[in-house]
Amino acid sequence: MEETLNDPIMTEQPAAPGAGRPITVIAPREAGREPGSRFEEVLESALDGRGWRRVEKEEELQAFLTKRDTQGAGEPEGEPLLFALSLGETGINLEYIRMLRFFREHTRALEGCVGGVLVDGRSDLYTKSVARELVFTANRAGCAFVGRPLVEGTKTLSNFSIVARNMDTDLMSAYKKSAAILTDEILDFRRPVSERPSLLVLHASSHPNSNTFALWEELKRFLPDFEITEIGLRNGTVSDCSGCPYKMCLHFGENESCFYGGVMVEDVYPAVKRADAVLMLCPNYNDALSANLTAFINRLTALFRIIRFYDKALFAIVVSGYSGSDIVAEQLIAALNMNKTFYLPARFALMETANAPGAAMRLPGIHERLRAFAAHMRRTLTVRDLCSDAGLKPRSQTAQKSAGPPDARKETDRCARKIL
């Protein structure tokens, strides 16, 4: 039976004995509008058998965060959050907008949290754009996100056609199972750690004139304990993906190759496999990633056919001449976190505005920000104190966490969600 917390009211379901830690569900409820029945059905499935608390109003959110701050941040691996949005036909939920404003005003509100996102809409539009905006904003407020953190239900659920076929079920069942799997992944998340992190740095910059590359050159000075691989994807070195048939792409992927070969196969694929993290150096080109970095993401699909990147972190440096760094950062979130399964550390991107050559290194406070970003990367990837405090082993000494013997059907469904 549900219990209520006093002033303000939020619903809570205690966990059953042995069910593990509870999850906080941030589900904005707009005044005068009830969430759709499909949304509630999917959310109920996602939370089945788990302890949870549900936050629906900005006032409840503030009360929850105040209580959390008073009690401390909790477990070293972060407090689990599920953002659950019911968008209706217009893609607009006014209570969500209030919460979004709160997170942008309180940039440490979600410090130490790890999350995922469930979005349900009555249109075939808006679900992903709203999710990108939410993940970007929550990440800036300190929330990390698991690889492939989004489960979205569009009006027709046609986006579940392949997943449903892989799961041997109908669209609605695939939707519900995917939501439950995402909840498991949030609760099970453990940040991989390494004694000497391997960092792959990808760029397409002209070194003498690039503000983005200049920032990286300075940042690199603060990462002496990292094993760093830099690969430049300049014009003429990488061809974009031309959309080979699935079986052809799978065939080459199984051999860790691609029909087009070149630097992607010879240098990039092996470096991605070795890396604990990827740092993308992204100048803003017309409010978009550069063509060569986009080609890298597209060509990564062949390797992605056989390897998932859930244990690899995504970082970025984004430099805009005038504005729009958030747009580029959201593109990285959608492509590499939501699609290609890299996990998203809190505050994954350093974003600056600089136009003239050399202007980035003259920005007020830039050296302090670079030093702080490097320290954040070290804490995320190395954190030897986390290993000793939490009893964890470095990534090189341990396999992926397992909570016990897997349920065969559940593991089949989990794999089916990931095969896209």
Q: What is the pLDDT of residue 18?
A: 66
pLDDT at 50: 93
Q: What is the pLDDT of residues 228-255, one digit of tens each?
A: 999 999 765 665 445 544 444 444 444 4
- Whole-number pLDDT of residue 261: 47
User: CA 271 → CA 221, 231, 369, 375, distances in Å?
Assistant: 21, 9, 27, 23
What is residue 2's predicted lDDT score, i.e. its pLDDT? 44
CB 303 within 8 A of CB 241: no
pLDDT band at 310; cut points 50, 70, 90: very high
Structure tokens at 136: 């970007």
List Cα–Cα distances, 202 to 88, 272, 285, 305, in angstroms: 39, 10, 16, 21
Q: Closest by alpha carbon to 394, among 113, 191, 199?
A: 191
Q: Is 392 a residue whose pLDDT tops 80?
A: no
Q: Is residue 260 predicted with pLDDT exceeding 60? A: no
Q: Which residue has the tokens 């907008």?
A: 97
Which contiguous run of DSSP H or E holds residue 13? strand 11-13
Summarised one tens digit per residue, pLDDT across range 187-200 is 999 989 999 999 99
Task: Indicate the residue type of 119.
Answer: V
Query: pLDDT tens digits for 338-388?
Result: 999 999 999 999 999 999 999 999 999 999 999 999 999 999 999 654 444
Sheet with 144-153, strands from edge to edge, namely 3-4, 11-13, 52-55, 23-26, 79-88, 113-121, 144-153
Q: What are the structural domains of the chain?
A: 3-188 (3.40.50.360), 198-390 (3.40.50.360)
- pLDDT of amino acid 74: 47
CB atoms within 10 A of CB 29: 17
Give the per-residue pLDDT at 347: 98
CA–CA distance, 79 with 264 (Å, rounded to integer): 37
User: Which tens digit of pLDDT belongs to each residue from 130-184?
Assistant: 999 999 999 999 999 999 999 999 999 999 999 999 999 999 999 999 999 999 9
CB 282 within 8 A of CB 360: no
